[in-house]
Amino acid sequence: MQTVEGSNVLVSVVMNCHNGAEFLREAIDSVYLQSHDNFEIIFWDNCSSDDSAVIAHSYDARIRYYKSKNKLLLGEARHEAIKKTRGKYITFLDCDDVWLENKLETQINGLENSDYLFSYGGYHVIDANSKIKSSHRARYKSGFIFKNLLVQYDICMQCVMLDRKILISNSMNFDKSFEYCPDYDLFMRIASKYPIMVCDQFLTKYRVTGNSLSSKTKHLTATEVRKSIDNALSSPHQYDPSYKSAIKQAYAKATFYEALFNLSVDDKKLAVRLLRTICMIRIEYFFLYLILLFPISGSSILRVIRR
């Protein structure tokens, strides 16, 4: 049952969609089946040419539909959608993912009964047939976890809920120039300033398919991750000596992504040079570096490590 504190709170659900009709009804239904039903869906149609608009318009007035005049980068589309929100809390759902029925209620009650302004939790990974392939609980405890997130980021966007006052008081929004990880950039900037509530519960089913956006933007990964780290470290935390190792590991992850991309385009020599600079930081980097010393093609190595 809902607590009195959270029962009347309006939540804005931001849905960005570009030709997402295949799983869209399942995604929207998971919002309408929430135990907390005071929500609005900001449906941002990023120039879809399939039946996404038809599906969105088949629901009631709680879906507020907007369509881009031109195809926008993901960061810009989310930036524009955020500006349409009216709820006290803002949360996110992509058109191929699914919420568990107590997602909103759990996070609203947690935030309403604490001083936290940002919350996230665990998620299940599902395939195209909605079969659970793996499950991931949030690894950290509630509090100031910026240092932890530099080392190992575990925030799934579909599991997030934030108080809109964070965005207003800091003039924050998604970076319009980002296409691969605008969420990582924004959430790390928030984490550098605020303590975070970490829910032990599973909140979301996150779908991974060959058509996922992340599989199409590998060439942008390293650049955007580095820029995100730079942005987050623009706060005074970068001068804290205890962050030195965490910062080094964060940038090493970007180099690792760059090496993986070069493997995907069969530039094995550059991948080796990149991994040589970080191979002593994490064991997975070291082992990949060793494997690359053998006469095996980059594409074969990626298949072996499932990348």
Tens of pLDDT, residue by residue over 144-182, are: 999 999 999 999 999 999 999 999 999 999 999 999 999
How many C-beta atoms lie closer than 10 Å to residue 67's C-beta? Answer: 14
Pick from 40-49, 252-261, 290-299: least confident: 290-299
pLDDT-derived band at 290, boundaries 50, 70, 90:
very high
> What integer pLDDT is reported at residue 159 of this predicted model?
98
pTM over 0.95: no
How many C-beta atoms lie closer than 10 Å to residue 205's C-beta? Answer: 21
> What integer pLDDT is reported at residue 214 of this predicted model?
55
Please tell me the distance from the alpha carbon of residue 104 to that of residue 9, in angstroms, as a whole number.
10
pLDDT-derived band at 301, boundaries 50, 70, 90:
confident
Q: For 257-262, which contacts have Cβ atoms below 8 Å and span 24 or more sequence positions?
A: 257/218, 257/221, 257/222, 257/225, 258/221, 258/222, 259/288, 260/218, 260/221, 260/302, 260/307, 261/218, 261/219, 261/221, 261/222, 262/298
> What integer pLDDT is reported at residue 6 of this predicted model?
55
Pick from 17-21, 263-267, 277-281: least confident: 263-267
User: Checking DSSP bridges between strand 63-67 and strand 39-45, what pairing results, if any?
Assistant: parallel
Q: What percent of the chain has pLDDT over 90?
A: 84
> What integer pLDDT is reported at residue 2 of this predicted model?
43
Q: What is the mean pLDDT of residues 256-276?
A: 94
**Position 34 pLDDT exceeds 70:** yes
